[in-house]
Amino acid sequence: MQNLKQLHQEFLEHIEIEKGRSLKTVENYDRYLRTFFDFVTNEVGQTKASDPKIITDDIVRKYRLYLNRKNLKKKTQNYHLIALRMFLKYLVRKEITSLPPDRIDLAKVPERQLELITEEETERLLDSPNVKDGNLQGLRDKAILELLFSTGLRVSELCSLNCDHIREAKSGEFSVRGKGDKIRVVFLSDSATQAIKNYLDKRGDMNEALFTRIPKSGKVSNKTESRLTSRSIERIIKHYAIKSGISKKVTPHTLRHSFATDLLSNGADLRSVQSMLGHANITTTQIYTHITDKHLRDIHKAFHGKGRKKYKKS
């Protein structure tokens, strides 16, 4: 009989090969499951911890208490439980007796709070880079901001873009590979197209990356390691938010939120926005609807309390 250590490794290979998950996702599942197996070993000892049958309702209940008492956020606790549930589903597939995966219930999390900036703040942010005199860094940062707001790209998707993605774009649209290795089409606004053109026209290098580090010399290196990382983009956005006088926390994801709310508040339908954001489930997109419905206040004002007014007049 296979032990949990062997099954753990096989599971990771399964989600990488058969499921096609990214290496980062595989690493996360590995980390979450190691936390669980370490906990089980401490509870029952090394010998018993190798048997898949040791995963019981009682063990999972104690594990949930353990995670909660580590003061982890409910969302983070759920990541651990989702990894365990996926592993148990794999055991079912292998016809190995263990706890049924549907016995794992996720913790209830509070409704997600969105970090939003106003339209006026968005405009200030987009206009904040210094593009005078063909400043390459300013042109690059302007292109980053305009592209994020125009497409709603995730920061990881932005970092992975190459110059060819833009050069081969037809009618202001191109394809990106997003979460779950899914491909979707994104669209460039006129201002984003112009900002990227200004930036690329100033570049005189052969580096394939669209967004790269710019040395003090002003000349972009052809080395692949010069590609900007997600952390670099976050620092750039934070810099310009402060420069724009925005007191709220602003991240690349804030511009993704701004992209979605801008579309919905101007009449776009939820399904279209879901496709443009690359959301697998429309419930993820629905977090924006209560913010962007401009008509609710007017409806309340127009129709609420009419009976009371008539009563007071009589």
The reported pTM is 0.71
Lowest-confidence segment of 39-48, 131-140, 233-242, 284-293 by average pLDDT: 284-293
Burial (CB count <10 Å: 0-12, 13-18, 19+), residue 152: buried
pLDDT of 17 strictly over 80: yes
Lowest-confidence segment of 5-14, 62-71, 134-143, 165-174 by average pLDDT: 165-174
Q: Band of the pLDDT at 255, cuts 50, 70, 90? A: very high
Tens of pLDDT along 114-124?
778 999 999 99
Task: Specify the CATH architecture of the domain 4-103.
Answer: Orthogonal Bundle (1.10)
pLDDT of 212 strictly over 90: yes
Confidence at residue 223, expressed as pLDDT on a 0 to 100 scale:
74
Within its chain, how far is the Cα of 238 from the centroid? 17
Confidence at residue 312, expressed as pLDDT on a 0 to 100 scale:
59
pLDDT of 309 strictly over 60: no
Which of the two residues, 219 and 33, has the higher pLDDT score?
33
Contact of 218 with 136, CB cutoff 8 Å = yes
Q: From CA 259, how far away is CA 189, in angstroms rounded?
A: 11
Angle formed by the axes of helices 119-126 and 136-151, nearest 10°: 150
Confidence at residue 122, expressed as pLDDT on a 0 to 100 scale:
94
Confidence at residue 313, expressed as pLDDT on a 0 to 100 scale:
58
Return mean pLDDT, the chain.
88
In the structure encoding, which two tokens stand for residue 303, read together? 């129709």
Q: b/e string for 178-214 if b means 16 or more Cβ within 10 A?
A: beeeeebebebeeebbebbebbeebbeeebebbbbbb
Cα(first)–Cα(last) distance of the chain, in Å?
Answer: 84
Q: Which of 90, 91, 67, 99 is nearest to 17 (CA)?
A: 90
Q: From CA 187, how far away is CA 193, in angstroms rounded?
A: 10
Q: Band of the pLDDT at 180, cuts 50, 70, 90? A: confident
Other Cβ atoms within 10 Å of 64 Cβ, number: 16
Q: Where are the domains of the chain?
A: 4-103, 119-295
Q: What are phi and psi of 153, to 5 degrees?
A: -65, 145
Q: What is the mean pLDDT of residues 15-28?
A: 89
Q: Band of the pLDDT at 311, cuts 50, 70, 90? A: low
Confidence at residue 182, expressed as pLDDT on a 0 to 100 scale:
85
Q: What is the mean pLDDT of residues 61-66?
A: 96
Task: Specify the CATH architecture of the domain 119-295.
Answer: Orthogonal Bundle (1.10)
Residue type (1 letter), 314: S
Burial (CB count <10 Å: 0-12, 13-18, 19+), residue 2: middle
Q: What positions carry a catalytic annotation?
A: 154, 179, 253, 256, 279, 288
Confidence at residue 286, expressed as pLDDT on a 0 to 100 scale:
84
